[in-house]
Amino acid sequence: MKRVFLFAAILIASSANAAPLEYIGQQIVPSGTLFAGTTVGGLSSIDYDAATGSYFAVSDDRSAINPARFYTLSLDLSKFVRSATPGMQGVSFSAVTTLRQADGTPFPSNQVDPEGLRFDAARNTVFWSNEGARSGAIFQNPTVREASLSGDHIRDFTVSAKFLPSGSAAGLVPGDRGIYNNLAFESLAISHDGRTLWTATENALAQDGRPASVAAGSRARMVGFDIASGSALAEYIYDVSPVVQAPGKPTGFATNGLTDFVAIGDRQFITIERSFAEGAVTPGTPVTGNTIRLFYADARHATDVSAFDSIAGHSITPVSKSLLLDLSTLTNADGSALALDNIEGITLGPIREGKQTLVLVSDNNFSGGQFTQFVALVITTPMPEASGSAMLLLGLATLSGVARWRKQ
């Protein structure tokens, strides 16, 4: 094992100046696209089923436009192009599935907010997260659930009381607890061994700290669940970075959050941080306000904070993370900057020419001014198909080590 690692370290170190991720191309589904009587949009998570070559994508429609649902679709990555006007060739929706309550009925309007989804091939079911809510109109607990492929409710996982919102609507008053509004269970990941389901808050809990701003980041919680029993396991602090750009106006909305992640080993992940600033303009790039960054995150040496109702006053080692790619640096074939929408979902895709692909998807918020975007990337470190995930993990970990060594 040491020899394998040493060989990989030498191989990767020799090309350490190369980006670990390469842009294959994109496709865009226009806002307002209809499929099977539903409006396609709000795609907040995506997962790949290697056995069938299909993908699952959950919509964060709160049953306001159509019932809460997820889509089955196919993506032909060979048709993805590095173009500012790619069209949607290679994107084909094949089914839509309504997510149902325990009593078998669809969720009423504004009683659910689906955000994360993972397909479990071993159980032939899906896990999905409901972000919950905290506002003047409604307090709703975040949930993690399992459903059949027909959308029928199977069970709820046990979510600790520390995540449940209580106190003021803003969550900024001393004594407030639980999730902030629209900053909760945005993500899901299944562990490399298939035994643990992971989710995370997009930002801190009210008792742990403030939401992210231009001046400061936020201390999100990652939480694991035992898939067999549904009980909660360890929790780790993931430090979300500050908002990347200031909004165009002092009163403009700005946020940065952990929107999704995918497991690549034992408590090791590729994470998405999506930063948005209203009216922000970066010279030379399209005006969308979004900055999307991918990180390698390692929780193996982080402090388990599951016993802490609040982390205040505790000495904590957070999840370590290293920047893999700032998507703002990507360009199309003609040299134009890649316009990025609200990227919220990530999955490991198929192996292409011996290399692992990553597929990202954006949540267009059902807005005519936004777009449903699929972005395909490839891990530039070659890897055999049979052991793709292990080699991916090895490559990313080694790249992180090389970066730290060069910094020192």
Return phi, psi of residue 253, to 5°: -75, 140
Q: Two tokens at 264?
A: 């690549």
pTM for the whole structure: 0.91
Q: Which run of H or E residues covers position 231?
A: none
Same domain for 344 and 393, yes or no, is no
What's the rounded Cα separation, in Å, for the pair 294 and 80? 20
Q: Residue 149, by phi and psi: left (phi above 0), alpha (psi -120 to 50) or beta?
A: alpha
Higher pLDDT residue, 375 or 16?
A: 375
User: Which strands form 232-240's sheet, in the order they lie side by side?
Assistant: 189-190, 196-200, 218-226, 232-240
The DSSP secondary structure of 51-72, one letter per residue, reads TTTEEEEEE---SSSS-SEEEE
Is 394 a residue whose pLDDT tops 80?
no
Q: What is the residue range of 182's domain?
A: 19-379
Average pLDDT, the chain: 90
- Terminal-to-terminal C-alpha distance of the chain: 26
Same domain for 25 and 14, yes or no, is no
Same domain for 79 and 165, yes or no, is yes
Same domain for 372 and 400, yes or no, is no
Same domain for 4 and 128, yes or no, is no
What Cα–Cα distance (Å) separates residue 181 from each residue in 108, 185, 283, 386?
Answer: 19, 10, 32, 42
Dihedral sign computed on CA atoms, order 175, 208, 290, 133: negative
Q: Is the distance from CB of 238 to CB of 321 less than 8 angstroms?
A: yes
Residue identified by tokens 């360009």 is: 331
Beta-sheet strands, E only, within 278-364 = 290-298, 320-326, 343-352, 355-362
Q: What percent of the chain has pLDDT over 70?
A: 87
Q: Which of 19-23, 85-89, 263-267, 391-395 has the lowest mean pLDDT?
A: 391-395
Predicted pLDDT of residue 286: 66
Same domain for 8 and 102, yes or no, is no
Same domain for 3 and 138, yes or no, is no
Quick one: average pLDDT of 123-148?
A: 97
Report the 3 state secondary structure along 327-340.
HHHCECCCCCECCC
Same domain for 4 and 127, yes or no, is no
Give helix 388-407 / helix 2-13 axis angle, nearest 10°. 60
Predicted pLDDT of residue 19: 67
CATH, residue 283: 2.115.10.20
CA angle 92, 98, 104 (to 5 degrees): 160
Higher pLDDT residue, 386 or 168?
A: 168
CA angle 187, 382, 407 (to 5 degrees): 70
Quick one: average pLDDT of 11-17?
A: 41
Longest dimension (CA), the chain: 59
Predicted pLDDT of residue 288: 83
Is 3 a residue whose pLDDT tops 60?
no
What's the rounded Cα separation, in Å, for the pair 301 and 309? 20
Q: Two tokens at 60?
A: 């964060």
Is 171 a residue whose pLDDT tops 80?
yes
Quick one: average pLDDT of 43-57?
A: 98
Same domain for 317 and 231, yes or no, is yes
pLDDT in tens, 281-339: 665 566 689 999 999 999 999 999 999 999 999 999 999 999 999 999 999 999 999 99
Instruction: Name which of 172, 176, 201, 181 is nearest 136 in CA terms.
Output: 181
Is 6 a residue whose pLDDT tops 50?
no
Q: Which letter does DSSP use for residue 404 in this model?
A: H
Q: How many folded domains does the chain comprise?
A: 2
Predicted pLDDT of residue 395: 56
Instruction: Name which of 345, 349, 348, 377 is nearest 364 in CA terms.
Output: 345
What's the rounded Cα separation, in Å, for the pair 115 and 133? 12
pLDDT in tens, 223-270: 999 999 999 999 999 999 999 999 999 899 999 999 999 999 999 999
Q: Which run of H or E residues covers position 75?
A: strand 69-75
Same domain for 4 and 35, yes or no, is no
Q: Is the distance from CB of 72 to CB of 54 less than 8 angstroms?
A: yes
Same domain for 100 and 220, yes or no, is yes
pLDDT in tens, 333-390: 999 999 999 999 999 999 998 999 999 999 999 999 999 999 999 998 654 443 444 4
Is residue 269 classed as helix, strand or coil in its secondary structure?
A: strand
Same domain for 172 and 247, yes or no, is yes
Is 71 a residue whose pLDDT tops 70?
yes
Q: Two tokens at 311?
A: 């982390």
What's the rounded Cα separation, in Å, for the pair 353 and 293? 25
